[in-house]
Each structure stands twice: as C-alpha cells, then as structure tokens.
Amino acid sequence: MDEWWLVFVPDPERWGPLPKEGVLGVRDLPAALDAVGLRPGDPVFVRPDFVVDAELLQFTLSPDFRNLERESRRNYAIDIRLLLSWLWRRGVPWQAATIADLRAYKEFRVDSPLNPQRIGGTKWNEVEP
C-alpha cells in the first residue's frame, strides 16, 4: 500500500447508527473526535501504514488552516494527500522533503507524460518553492 488516506469528519446527521461495541476500539467516536478538537469537515491524514499523522493533525487543528472556508480546507487537503503519496512512494518522509523534491513533484504534476492526470499552470501556485 503506497497511498495516504484522507478521511473527513462527517456532519452529525451523516454519522448514522454506530455499533454499540464502538469503532476501532473507541466506544463513542463522535465524543472522541470532539475531545481532540476535530469538527465536521476537518481532514484527517492517515499514512499508508494506517497511522494517523500527528503532525498533520496539528496542522489541521491550527488557526491558519481552521480559518479557511470548509471547501478550501477540503481542496487543500486533497492536494496535500497527493503530495504525501508521491513522496511516500519515493521513500521520502514528508518532513524530510527538500526543495528539489518539491520541484520534482511540480514537474510530475504539471509536465510529466508519466502523469496521466497532469494539471495546468492555473491550478499550480506559480510561486517557486
């Protein structure tokens, strides 16, 4: 498995019935998420080895990210997930990514014929890393 997972906290009306025995060992998952500070629409980044990334969770909870509109947070999280997966497949922990890694990722996303889902320059922030 080499893809990061991205899970969004659902709105309360979308939870549906939860099993009495709990979910993943947590008896009251909505209360547990609330205790962490997660709100509906917040992203949770899960590494390919099924571990929630604590540093990215802190980023999700940060005022800078929190103050963005919900759809902006969602869009940023999706883009971040793509970068995380790309780095993971190359054996680069995201915390160790260099400017060269980020430039290579930009080249892959925008120009590489090896990428079947290239994006245009208007999607990419033109500020060089």
Q: Tell me: the pLDDT tens digits for 91-107?
A: 999 999 999 999 898 88
Q: Where residue 126 falls among pLDDT bands split at 50, 70, 90?
A: very low
Contact status, residue 1 vs residue 81, Cβ threshold 8 Å: no
In whole angstroms, give the CA distance from residue 58 to residue 2.
Answer: 23
CA distance 14 to 40: 10
Residue with the two structure tokens 């995380």: 84
- Give the per-residue pLDDT at 21: 83
Distance in angstroms (rounded) separating the CA atoms of residues 43 and 77: 7
pLDDT in tens, 14-23: 888 888 887 7
- Calpha distance 32→14 (Å, rounded): 17
Indicate the pTM of the whole model.
Answer: 0.81
Which residues, listed in sequence order, are joined to residue 44 by a DSSP beta bridge?
7
- C-alpha to C-alpha distance for 107 and 115, rounded to whole angstroms: 10
- Could you tell me where the DSSP H helices lie in the chain? 29-36, 54-61, 63-66, 70-89, 99-110
